[in-house]
Structure 1
Amino acid sequence: MTLYVSKIDRLAGIECYCTSFAGTGGSIKQRSEGFRVSELVDELLVGNISLTFDNRHRYPLYILEKHDIDSNHALFEIERECRMRLRVMGIKDAKAVTTQYASADRVMRNPPGELKTKHTRLTLEGFTRRPLGKEFLAGNKFEITIHRPRSHDLSGLLPEIDKVGNFYGLQRFGSERLVTHLVGREIVKRNFRRAVELLLSYTTEYDTPASKEIRSKSADPGNYRQVLRILPRGMDIERQVLTALVAGKDAVSALRTVPITIRRLFVQAYQAYIFNKCLSTAVINGEDLLQPAAGDLCFEMEGPATFGRIIKYDHASKAKKMVPAIRMAGYTFQPGKGRFENITKAILQEEGVTAKDFYVKEMQELSHQGGFRQAPLWCMDFSYSKNPQLIVSFKLPKGSYATTLLREIIKPQDPIRSGF
C-alpha cells in the first residue's frame, strides 16, 4: 500500500513511511498536558548528586518543569527574570509539559530552593561535581494523547514498530516555518547574505497574514528600519538580526547576533535534512534498518539503549549486538563501502556541497565534523490505552523524536494542522 506523504514532510527530507499500518488519524498537542516528556538519565548522574554543598559538589542541579515554551527560550526567560544562567542536556519542544534537569554554570553555595517564571518552575535537586554534560542524558519517556482518532486499535502497528526509521522530526527544522535547514544550507555554501534573507523573509502556507506582510517587507533592505518598529515580540531573533543590519553590520556579524545555541541549529538542521534524505532513500530501496550488512558502520550496543563505539560490520561481528549507524554529513565525512554512506555521498553531490564545506572558516563556531546516528528509531516499552482517549507511552534514546513514531501511528494528511 502506498501512503500519502505530505509536502512539508518532503521539505524536511522525509519522503516515505516505514510501516504499512494505515494510521489512526487524529491530532496531538491540542493542550500541553496531552504531551508529557520526562528525561531519563544515566545512573552515573544519579550517583553523583549530593543533597548538600561540599568541596566536591558545588554546582546546583535543578528539576526544570516547563510548559508552552521550548528549552532555549525557557533558559532565556529564567536568566531574564531570575538572574540565573542554567544549562540543560536536551532541547524540549514548546508544545509540551516537560520535566528535565538543569544545572548552573557557576559554583553557588546557597542557591534558591525554588524559582518560578511565567512558563517554568525550578526545584533544587542537589549539587553536582561539575555542570551537566550531554553524556548524562540516556533518553526520554513520553506519554501522549491522540485526540479524535478514527481508530483506537494499534495492533496492526505493533509487528512493524521496530521498522520505524530514526527520522529527525519537523521541530528540528522550525515546524510550520520550515526554514532552519535552508539557512544552514546557505551558511555551508558561504551564501551568508542569502542566509540572512531567508531567516528574515521566508514564509510558508502556515504563516499568518500579518507575518507574511512583515516578512514580505523584510525582503527589501530599504524597509529594515520600518520593519523593526512593527516586529511583534515573538520575532526576537529577527529583531536582533535586523538591528545589526540597520547599524551597518555585514551578514556574518548579523547572524552572530543570534544566540549560539540557536545559531548552531542552522547547520545541524541542514545535516538533519541530509540524514532524512538518506534514510528515506534507504527505506524506499527496501534496506533493512535493523540488520547490519557487510561494510556497514554500526553501533556496538552496551546496554538496552546505550549505543557504544562505532565499528565496521563483518562476519566476525555476528556474535555482538550491532545496530546500523548512519554517518552524518560533516567535514570528516568519508564515503566507505556501507549502504548509507554511498547514499549520503550521492545526496551531497545533488546538493552541490562537499564534506569540507562543513568547516565554515568565516564562522568557525558553526563548523561541524559530522558524527553518527542510529538508523532505527529504537522504541522501547511501548504501550497504549484507549479508554476513553488513545494514549501512547514509550521511551526513546536521546536525540530521537517522539513525533517520528507518532507520524507512523497517525499518518497525518497535514502534519502541522495535526499538531506536529
Structure 2
Amino acid sequence: MLSPSSSPPVPEIDMMAGIECYCSADFSGIGGSIKQDSSSFQVSELVDESSLGISKEFEGAYRYPLYLLQKEGVDSNHALFEIEREHRLRLRVMGIKDAKAVTSQYAGAERAWQNAPKELRTRHTMLTLQGFTKRPLGRELLAGNEFSIAIQNPMRDDISGFENQVQNIANFYGLQRFGSERLVTHLVGRAIVKKDFARAAELLLTYTTKYDTDSSREIRRKCLDPSGYRQALKEVPRGMDIERQLLSALVAGKGPVQALRAVPIQIRRLFVQAYQAYIFNMCLSRAIAQGEDITSPKQGDLCFEMEGPFAFGRIKKYDPSLLSDKQQFVPAVRMAGYTFQPGRGRFEEITKELLVQEGVAAKDFYVKEMQELSQQGGFRQAPLWCQDFAWKKNPLTVSFKLPKGSYATTLLRELIKPQDPIKAGF
C-alpha cells in the first residue's frame, strides 16, 4: 500500500470528496481522459440469470414485466423519470448507472401487467421485454458490473505492471457519487443529518465550485436571494429538474422540509448516503495515511466471509487461528449510521473520530422529520475487489469486473492519475 507522501499530488476535488491519497505504488499515471464519447465507456450488469426466475409468458405467479434497459446520455434515475413521463410505466433498477456511458441493465415493472409492450423507446433509452418474474426486481439480485473502457490520448499505451497494483486499490466512492463538478450531494446530506433543512435546500440551489460550468454558476447566483426565487424559476433550464422542483415548492410557500420532499425520493436518499460515502472515504484515507494495509485482514477486524467471487457473506471478527484453508475474508468498514457502534477495530476507531470532528452522532442519522431518509449504516468492503482485469492496445482499452456499489472511476484514477479529474472525464 502506497503512503500518501510518496504519491503524486492529489487533485483538490478528490480531497473535497475525502479521497486524500493514491494506492498504486510504483506506477506513474498514463494521463489521458475517459468518457469523451459515451461509446468508449461501456457497462453491463452481472446477474445470476437463474435467480431472476424469468418466464417468457405472463402466467400463474409470473406477472411482473422484466425489461433490458439500454441507455446513453442519461443516468439511471433520469432514464426512469423519462420512461415514466413518456409511457406512464414505472420501473425500478438494481443499480444506478452514469450518464456518460453506454449501459445495459435490467429494469422491472412495479405492477403486474399482462399486455406489457415488447419494446419501448425514449430519447435516451431502449427497453426490450425479457419476460415476467414472480416479484418486482430487487437489488439483492445484482452481483456486480462488467466494464470495457477506452482511454483517450494517453501518454503511453503500454500499462504493463498495473495489473499488479489493482488489488491494492482502496474502495473509494467516485466523484460522481458527490455530484462530480458541483460536489454538493454530501454537503446537502450533512445538513439534513444536522437537521438544518433550510441550509440543505440552500446548498442544493446555490452551492458551486470552481470546477462547475459557467452557466451553472450563473443560475446558482440568481438563487442566492430568496426574494428572487420566482424569477429564477423562469430561468432555470429544464435540465436542472431537481432545482426546478425545489424552487417550485419554495415559491408555492412550502417550508424547507416539504420543499425538499418535492425532490423524488430516489434522489433525496442519495444525499444522506453521499454523506456516509464521504465519511467512508475519509476513513480509508486516514487508515492509509497511518500506514494500514487495508487489503488484508488483521486480528480483530470485522470482515466479510466470501461466499463467491462477488458474494460478500456474513460479517465475522477475524481470528487467523480459527481459519480453514478454504475460507477467505475481506476487511469491512462499518458505515456511519444510526446503528453505528464504535468497537475496537481499526476502521471503527477512525470513523468514531471523524463523527466527533463532523459534530454529529450516530443517532443523528435517524431523521425523524424525514424518516424516509434515515440511514442505519451497514458495512462496505475496504479494498476495491477488482476481478478479471485485462487490457489491450490500439486503442488502449481496459476491461474488468467490480462488485455492486464499487466505482470504475476509482480504478481509473489510479491508472490515469489526472491533474484535473473533471477535464479528464471523471
Deviates most, 284-293 or 178-187: 284-293
Residues 304 and 313, structure 2, Cα contact 8 Å, conserved in 1: yes
**How many angstroms apart in 1 are the aligned matches of 2:421 and 2:161?**
21
What TM-score does the superposition give when structure 2 sets the normalisation length? Answer: 0.97
Name the amino acid aligned to 1:289.
I
CA displacement at 1:43 relative to structure 2: 4.2
Name the amino acid aligned to 1:10.
M
Alignment match of 2:51 (pick from 36, 45, 52): 45
**How many angstroms apart in 2 are the aligned matches of 1:186 and 1:120?**
34
1:416 aligns with 2:417: no
**How many angstroms apart in 2 are the aligned matches of 1:210 and 1:405?**
31
Alignment match of 1:280 (pick from 267, 272, 285): 285
Aligned to 2:373: 366
Aligned to 1:18: 23
Name the amino acid aligned to 1:217.
K
Residues 7 and 21, structure 2, Cα contact 8 Å, conserved in 1: no
Name the amino acid aligned to 1:137.
L
Q: 5 Å matches for 1:266-305?
A: 266-305=271-310
Aligned to 2:41: 35
**How many angstroms apart in 1 are the aligned matches of 2:205 and 2:75?**
20
1:226 aligns with 2:252: no
What secondary structure sits across from 1:115 in the alignment? strand
What secondary structure sits across from 1:37 in the alignment? strand
Alignment match of 2:403 (pick from 397, 403, 408): 397
What secondary structure sits across from 1:87 in the alignment? strand
Deviations 1:193-214 (A, max 9, x none): 1111100001111333332222
CA displacement at 1:114 relative to structure 2: 0.3
**How many angstroms apart in 1 are the aligned matches of 2:366 and 2:351?**
18
1:309 aligns with 2:330: no
What secondary structure sits across from 2:412 in the alignment? helix
Alignment match of 1:126 (pick from 111, 126, 131): 131
What secondary structure sits across from 1:64 in the alignment? strand
Deviations 1:353-396 (A, max 9, x none): 1100000111100000000000000000000001x211000000
**How many angstroms apart in 1 are the aligned matches of 2:229 and 2:343?**
47
What secondary structure sits across from 2:165 in the alignment? helix
Aligned to 1:407: 413
Deviations 1:92-128 (A, max 9, x none): 0000000000010000111100000000000000110
1:108 aligns with 2:92: no
**How many angstroms apart in 2 are the aligned matches of 1:195 and 1:237?**
13
**How many angstroms apart in 2 are the aligned matches of 1:175 and 1:122?**
28
Q: 5 Å matches for 1:19-418?
A: 19-20=24-25, 21-46=27-52, 48-319=53-324, 320-386=327-393, 388-418=394-424
Name the amino acid aligned to 2:290.
N
Structure 1 runs (4+) deviating above 6 angstroms are none
CA displacement at 1:295 relative to structure 2: 1.4
**How many angstroms apart in 2 are the aligned matches of 1:190 and 1:295?**
35
Name the amino acid aligned to 1:37.
V
CA displacement at 1:156 relative to structure 2: 2.5
Cα RMSD for the two superposed structures: 1.0
CA displacement at 1:246 relative to structure 2: 1.1
What secondary structure sits across from 1:325 in the alignment? strand
Count of aligned pairs: 418
Name the amino acid aligned to 1:185.
R
What TM-score does the superposition give when structure 1 sets the normalisation length? Answer: 0.98
What secondary structure sits across from 1:347 in the alignment? helix
**How many angstroms apart in 1 are the aligned matches of 2:7 and 2:242?**
40
**How many angstroms apart in 2 are the aligned matches of 1:44 and 1:359?**
37
Name the amino acid aligned to 1:148.
N
Name the amino acid aligned to 2:264.
P
Residues 62 and 124, structure 1, Cα contact 8 Å, conserved in 2: yes
CA displacement at 1:3 relative to structure 2: 1.1
Deviates most, 156-165 or 331-340: 156-165
Distance 1:28 1:91, change over 3 A: same
Deviates most, 397-406 or 199-208: 199-208
Deviates most, 135-144 or 217-226: 217-226
**How many angstroms apart in 1 are the aligned matches of 2:322 and 2:102?**
42
Residues 43 and 101, structure 2, Cα contact 8 Å, conserved in 1: yes
Residues 163 and 390, structure 2, Cα contact 8 Å, conserved in 1: no
**How many angstroms apart in 2 are the aligned matches of 1:301 and 1:45?**
19
Residues 44 and 136, structure 1, Cα contact 8 Å, conserved in 2: no
**How many angstroms apart in 1 are the aligned matches of 2:115 and 2:322?**
52
CA displacement at 1:315 relative to structure 2: 3.1
